[in-house]
Structure 1
């Protein structure tokens, strides 16, 4: 199944980057889904636990309200004082003449859930009760009396069993209700889990840090494994590219069993191709040389013909056949130039070729570029010579320019001739193909120069493109890797 085009556009080009990209997306997706499921579970569990705890506290608070409602007003302070001297109960109790202003904790789902449950229980247990104020507050500045007294000012034995101040303060639930006009009952207590607010965030920063550490660890291990897997593929790619440029690379047979088999297969293929190329060159050379002998004999016999017109026709056919044999042999020699790659200064190579052309009386323009390429000197010179000779034959004026791209060098050879019909551009590289105006301009050509030039450029890992220039003439564009 082919990869969608939109995915191909966003995926990196290298296999290592693609695998790491897929691993990153996969791990992140699985972590996000797992965290979402886990957070939802923890949230539901916290809400259920808080609801059960709030219901328990609400019923205890309702019983306390009913108890103090049943007491005469003058007995209530005595009972409260006894409760304080006993060390406190679940609730810290006080009676005030008005509700105390409490600085509530900022909005949070769990405290809101507690308040909702307590109100619901009070409505069921004490339907005739007046206004009820329910808040959560921190104990540090929590007021407990109308005169402004705070929890911190109370004796320790009054609140040590009811509220939690040290070592870490816990949020205090404050319930205030008017049990009769001018008498507000003040109840303060802790939740069964004093630090229940910690559960309001199921994904604390510590968990995110753990997830990030897990992701980094997985990616590092993936990078090591993927690099270990793709390194042989990179070696195979480099060896294939070097072999395509005429070199004879050696691919080490080491690593996994699959890569060792691939290395052996690549070595065997390389040897077969090299033997084929050598055999082809020998065969082509032998055939070309062997054909010259019968062609020569036929020419001698042609001279003995009495009919002048027939003798001329035979000579023309034999000359054409001899030219084709010489061109085929030259094509093999020019395409199979065996030499090592070296760093070539284009200004020196092109400068000499331009100088020779000007000495021959041709008009040719070239500007120095200061660029270098890694190439086979004789082969590259042969390819450039073919293109420049074609331009000089078919155009009155030739312009050569060299441009630098990202990791590549572009050489443009443009003539000011008649150009080529668009439908004929694709056939120019075919052997022995020559257009009508080319045969008139250069009657001694074989139609092999462009094909030879393209083979040499491709052997260097480059590309040769032919196109008509917008202002007239044919333009040959050579793109070569810079290193």
Structure 2
């Protein structure tokens, strides 16, 4: 079994190499499938072609060997002084299947390079010659290219011969074919020279699966299949991309048009289900808002009546207790109304310049005597202006209440989107950090900071009028923008609230 370390390593490598989009993954699977199919099919086809070529070459070599045996027997039967005369007559007549010459010694040839088919053909011819001509012992066989091929012991080459001697026997130009040269010793000092082509002159190319024509055909077929595959995958995944964009926009509170009910049956059903889900969520949000407003409004009337009746109590201590409880209840009702109103700000997204938005808050704080440090960044973000102002304002107000002074910074943070499973490109986040220089927050309290109506001890002492809803409202608004609110204690003291928003 593979150790866990290697498994994790391979998983990380695959996560970086493989595309994260459905279009990329399906395209990669289709491409790899086609390539593997082509490769396996090519291997099988090449093996079959090689086997067929070997069978055809062996049969052709045997046929050529039998023709050579007949020619050798004929010249062997002639007197030695008649052989040159007969060879000359054959040349003037245009030759036979072989180019024939008589030499005193065997000619030294330069054979072609190592080739399995050529070796098999040579061995087949040699075996047949030895079986049919057992009375002859000197055999020399080799395949050679016509360039610089010697035909006689005086250095005469095929290129020096008249065309009518070889034009019907050998292929010299424009596309030379390998020539089988057979040299046989008929008597001492008498060597018969036979040169001929195989029945298929270009048999060496017959088992080559990588020939230019075949490679071009395979490349065209592969390109056609890949193009059609990618088009089909793109056509299939485009509705899913539209559905993903619509879901993301709806999650951020934007107005989403109805998805077109076109494409596959599964997507049409998904589009209808998404529209029904969107309508149910919208109705739920509207009913929730009406319910909160109605309950909060209806509760304030009996609270006011109770306060009036409390004034009729004679016991001062009891009257004070009733007033305190009613004030707390009234504060909770107001907080519920504020939470609904602040979280459900209906407005369109636009490009917001962060520097002027933050500077207006700082100007008001400085007029009240607070120390705030801020450096302009020149950055913008796509957001709902009023909602974003409310979120930043809540965090800024908390920092002013609980810290001696406030430091605000805005910067762009580059992230590698492949780590988030989007795709392989660089994206930007906008980080807005608001740091106070107060006592900070106990580590065990971070998990409960966003709960409504929760206030820490030092917060209740310094901000008597607070209700503990600011952080929850700010986080809801930021999450509706597709961002994140992070809270952490600073190493040098104080709390740092970080708003992370997508740049686009």
Query: TM-score, normalized by length of structure 1?
Result: 0.91
Aligned to 1:119: 126
- Which residue of 419, 425, 448 maps to 1:427? 448
Query: What are structure 2's unaligned runs of at least 5 residues?
Result: 1-9, 415-426
The separation in 2 between residues aligned to 1:126 and 1:361, in whole angstroms, is 121
Matches within 5 A, 1:176-191: 176-191=183-198
Higher mean Cα deviation, 336-345 or 121-130? Answer: 121-130
Matches within 5 A, 1:14-413: 14-65=21-72, 67-69=74-76, 71-126=78-133, 129-165=136-172, 168-256=175-263, 257-404=265-412, 405=414, 406-413=427-434
Q: What's the offset of the Cα at 1:416?
A: 2.5
Aligned to 2:3: none
The separation in 2 between residues aligned to 1:208 and 1:415, in whole angstroms, is 70
Q: What's the offset of the Cα at 1:332?
A: 0.6
Q: What's the offset of the Cα at 1:354?
A: 1.7
Aligned to 1:439: 460
The separation in 2 between residues aligned to 1:467 and 1:126, in whole angstroms, is 100
- Conserved? CA contact 1:392–1:415, under 8 Å: yes
Q: 1:321 to 1:186 in 2, by over 3 A?
A: same
- What is the number of residues matched between the two proteins? 480
Query: What are structure 1's unaligned runs of at least 5 residues?
Result: none
Q: What's the offset of the Cα at 1:42?
A: 0.9
Q: What's the offset of the Cα at 1:86?
A: 4.3
CA deviations 1:232-256 (Å, max 9, x no partner) are 2222222222222222221243413
CA deviations 1:167-205 (Å, max 9, x no partner) are 543221112233444333211111011121221412212
The separation in 1 between residues aligned to 2:485 and 2:15, in whole angstroms, is 27
CA deviations 1:340-393 (Å, max 9, x no partner) are 222211111011112222222222211111111121111100000011111222
The separation in 2 between residues aligned to 1:45 and 1:379, in whole angstroms, is 78
Higher mean Cα deviation, 304-313 or 286-295? Answer: 304-313
Q: 1:61 to 1:423 in 2, by over 3 A?
A: farther
Please state whether the residue corresponding to 1:149 is helix, strand or coil: coil
- Conserved? CA contact 2:46–2:207, under 8 Å: no
1:469 counterpart = 2:463: no
- Which residue of 434, 459, 471 maps to 1:450? 471
Q: What's the offset of the Cα at 1:110?
A: 1.9
Please state whether the residue corresponding to 2:239 is helix, strand or coil: helix
The separation in 2 between residues aligned to 1:163 and 1:342, in whole angstroms, is 82
CA deviations 1:448-477 (Å, max 9, x no partner) are 111100111111222222223334332222
- Conserved? CA contact 1:236–1:251, under 8 Å: no
Please state whether the residue corresponding to 2:406 is helix, strand or coil: strand
Report the RMSD for the aligned CA atoms in angstroms: 2.5
Query: TM-score, normalized by length of structure 2?
Result: 0.87
- Conserved? CA contact 2:374–2:407, under 8 Å: yes
Q: 1:202 to 1:229 in 2, by over 3 A?
A: closer
Q: What's the offset of the Cα at 1:283?
A: 1.2
Q: 1:278 to 1:66 in 2, by over 3 A?
A: same
CA deviations 1:140-177 (Å, max 9, x no partner) are 43221111212233344433442234554322111223
The separation in 2 between residues aligned to 1:209 and 1:162, in whole angstroms, is 32
